[in-house]
């Protein structure tokens, strides 16, 4: 009997020892896993670090590229496009103006009643129209005919509160968010279609001319007064509400910047200088590139696999289209090399762009002790259930690294514009405010990104100069901004209403 008891005790002891060994091994394996994942995270953080000195080097490089782009066509990675906008809104504009915003599978038509300094935008309304898929690959006549019909219908619905002046054409600001070679304030030839459009007979044509033909064909008496993009529109909207606005930045799915340049500082400008002495420049800053950019192997892989390798490098590091994808790529490496999610890499994690920047933002703003939102997103998007807290913390830290880098690079770009304009140093007795108008979902909705951008710009400017700079959210540049530019470039400027 004693032998049986002893034997049983030995078996139990052996089982306990085996279980203990397994627990220890599991803990060691987990410890090794977290250690390796943290090593990858630390290495990535070091490569992304954007010190004050590095931001100043980037700003200097941006200013140099700006000078080069203004000197000659093709002289810089920055296109520095002349917008032909030389009269920004002042707030004195009065009357009824329309806007057409075409930049994707939907377009908007708007009307605004401007009431001058007292009433500003007295009244506004818009309608959004979906473009049938077959028109996106059909003929130019069919697409612009469809748009003109929608415009005509919208004009017919003008109600009380809108006051067109008798005997005058209605005027329209046209936001056209496709690559265009601008030839005047109200003309520009299409370079190529993007965003799923492919209408061959429009390429090389003046898009304002195409729209005008379509409107004339159905008897709609409306003149396109300004052809703009959303960044120029944001600048116009910002200046309308605050005459200290000197530049505009879009930080959304994509990114761009525009600013007010002195006309005599544009060597490539051919022709008479505008009476205002100013010209708005569309920088196309998404294409900025510099050896000072903290460009990692993840950025390089993203770029190589993109539709436009070697182009829009700055955009791929700071805009909403790509931030979530950078996070995914680092997580993928952690999953493969550190078994962060277990022995099998989650299949969904291998899918490019599955992790969107709004989801990244939600995880980054998670304030719960157990990072509940992070766990929920990992489960809903990547189908990773029961994620332990250390894993959630790694994801949270990764979001912080990517967002902070993007925000600090954006601040460096803005500081580059400020340097180009010579406003980066304090001047005796100069207390004039300078305002940067910013629009886009990334800036508007990603609070930690916005806060980091603002604090980084202050860091670059220094306390004395920073007091004179303000970043303001300027909403709907592609809509109201375009209508305001139609008003400031109206053919009836200076003509009294009869």
Query: What is the token pair recorded at 219?
Result: 């008897």
E strand or H helix at 251:
strand 245-251
- Nearest CA among 284, 277, 289 for reference residue 249: 284
Catalytic residue among 117, 153, 195, 351: 195
Sheet (strand 434-439) strand order: 81-82, 278-282, 255-262, 245-251, 434-439, 469-473
Catalytic residue among 206, 230, 359, 424: 230
* Residues whose CB falls within 8 Å of the CB of residue 201, separated by 6 or more in sequence, listed in order: 139, 140
Contact between 211 and 224 under an 8 Å Cβ cutoff? The reply is yes
* Residues whose CB falls within 8 Å of the CB of residue 43, separated by 6 or more in sequence, listed in order: none
- Nearest CA among 203, 181, 234, 275 for reference residue 474: 234
246 three-state secondary structure: strand
Distance between CA atoms of residues 188 and 305, nearest Å: 31
Distance between CA atoms of residues 413 and 318, nearest Å: 11
Residue 201 annotated to the active site: no
Return phi, psi of residue 312, to 5°.
55, 40
Distance between CA atoms of residues 449 and 455, nearest Å: 10
Contact between 329 and 300 under an 8 Å Cβ cutoff? The reply is no
Query: What is the token pair recorded at 143?
Result: 């697409």
- Nearest CA among 205, 255, 194 for reference residue 227: 205
Q: What length does the chain have?
A: 498
Residue 230 annotated to the active site: yes
CA atoms within 13 A on the CB side of 198: 2
DSSP state string for 415-471: HHHHHHTT-SS--TT----EEEEEESHHHHH-HHHHHHHHHHHHHHHHHHHHTTEEE
- Nearest CA among 25, 37, 35 for reference residue 335: 37
- Nearest CA among 318, 269, 283 for reference residue 65: 283
Distance between CA atoms of residues 81 and 129, nearest Å: 30
- Nearest CA among 423, 421, 410, 397 for reference residue 456: 410
Residues noted as catalytic: 195, 230
């Amino acid at each position: 009997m004693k032998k049986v008891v002893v034997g049983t005790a030995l078996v139990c002891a052996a089982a306990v020892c085996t279980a203990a060994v397994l627990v220890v091994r599991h803990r060691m394996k987990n410890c090794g896993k977290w250690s390796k994942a943290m090593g990858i995270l630390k290495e990535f953080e070091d490569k992304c670090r954007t010190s004050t000195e590095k931001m100043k080097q980037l700003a200097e490089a941006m200013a140099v590229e700006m000078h080069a782009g203004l000197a000659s066509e093709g002289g810089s990675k920055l296109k520095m496009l002349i917008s032909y906008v030389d009269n920004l809104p002042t707030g004195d504009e009065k009357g009824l103006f329309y806007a057409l915003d075409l930049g994707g599978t939907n377009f908007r038509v708007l009307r605004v009643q401007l009431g001058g300094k007292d009433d500003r935008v007295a009244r506004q309304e818009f309608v959004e129209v979906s473009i049938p898929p077959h028109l996106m690959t059909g003929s130019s006549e069919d697409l612009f005919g469809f748009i003109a019909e929608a415009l005509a219908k919208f004009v017919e619905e003008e109600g009380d509160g809108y006051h067109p002046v008798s005997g005058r054409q209605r005027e329209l600001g046209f936001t056209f968010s496709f690559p265009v070679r601008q030839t005047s304030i109200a003309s520009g030839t299409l370079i190529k279609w993007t965003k799923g459009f492919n209408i061959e007979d429009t390429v090389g044509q003046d898009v304002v001319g195409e729209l005008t033909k379509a409107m004339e064909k159905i008897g709609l008496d409306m003149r396109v007064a300004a052809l703009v993009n959303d960044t120029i529109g944001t600048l116009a909207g910002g200046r309308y509400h605050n005459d200290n606005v000197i530049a505009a930045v879009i930080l959304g799915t994509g990114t761009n910047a525009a600013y007010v340049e002195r006309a005599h500082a544009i060597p490539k400008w051919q022709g008479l200088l505008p009476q205002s002495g100013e010209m708005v420049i569309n920088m196309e800053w998404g294409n900025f590139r510099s050896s000072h950019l903290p460009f990692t192997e993840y950025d390089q892989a993203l770029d190589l696999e993109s539709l436009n390798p070697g182009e829009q490098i700055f955009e791929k590091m700071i805009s909403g289209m790509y931030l979530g994808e950078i996070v995914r790529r680092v997580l993928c490496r952690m999953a493969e090399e550190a078994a962060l999610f277990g022995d099998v890499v989650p299949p969904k994690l291998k899918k490019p762009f599955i992790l969107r920047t709004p989801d990244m933002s939600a995880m980054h703003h998670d304030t719960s002790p157990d990072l509940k939102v992070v766990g929920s997103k990992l489960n809903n998007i990547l189908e990773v259930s029961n994620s332990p807290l250390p894993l959630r913390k790694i994801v949270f830290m990764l979001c912080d690294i990517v967002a902070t880098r993007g925000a600090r690079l954006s601040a460096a770009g803005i500081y580059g514009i400020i340097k180009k304009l010579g406003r980066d140093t304090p001047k005796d007795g100069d207390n004039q405010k300078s305002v940067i108008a910013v629009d886009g979902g990334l800036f508007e909705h990603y609070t930690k990104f916005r806060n980091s951008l603002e604090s980084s710009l202050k860091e670059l400017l220094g306390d004395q100069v920073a007091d004179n700079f303000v970043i303001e959210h300027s909403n709907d540049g592609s809509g109201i901004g375009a209508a305001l530019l139609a008003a400031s470039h109206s053919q009836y400027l200076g003509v009294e209403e009869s």
